[in-house]
């Protein structure tokens, strides 16, 4: 997989989503109070189907496999 900025191919960093597990403190009803651990595990990393935005110019990247 490779992301390419359509504005400037020299731009090499992007923002996209990943799914992570967090550990939460909750009340007796399971309602969120606060995050105890930000990232226990990554359950799904960046995907070709995600939107990838260039961190320099914010253009939507072209992602290929």
- pLDDT score recorded for residue 53: 98
Q: Which residues pair with 35 in a beta bridge?
A: 24
Interval 5-17: pLDDT, tens: 999 999 999 999 9
Burial (0-12, 13-18, 19+ Cβ within 10 Å), 35: exposed
Q: Which residues pair with 64 in a beta bridge?
A: 2
* Nearest of 35, 5, 41, 46 to residue 20 by alpha carbon: 41
Query: Does the global pTM surpass 0.95?
Result: no
- pLDDT score recorded for residue 4: 98
């Amino acid at each position: 997989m490779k992301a390419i900025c359509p504005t400037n191919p020299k731009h090499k960093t992007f923002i996209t989503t990943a799914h992570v597990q967090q550990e939460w403190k909750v009340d007796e009803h399971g309602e969120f109070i606060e995050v105890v651990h930000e990232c226990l595990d990554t359950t799904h990393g960046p995907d070709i189907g995600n939107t990838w935005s260039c961190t320099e110019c914010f253009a939507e990247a072209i992602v290929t496999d």
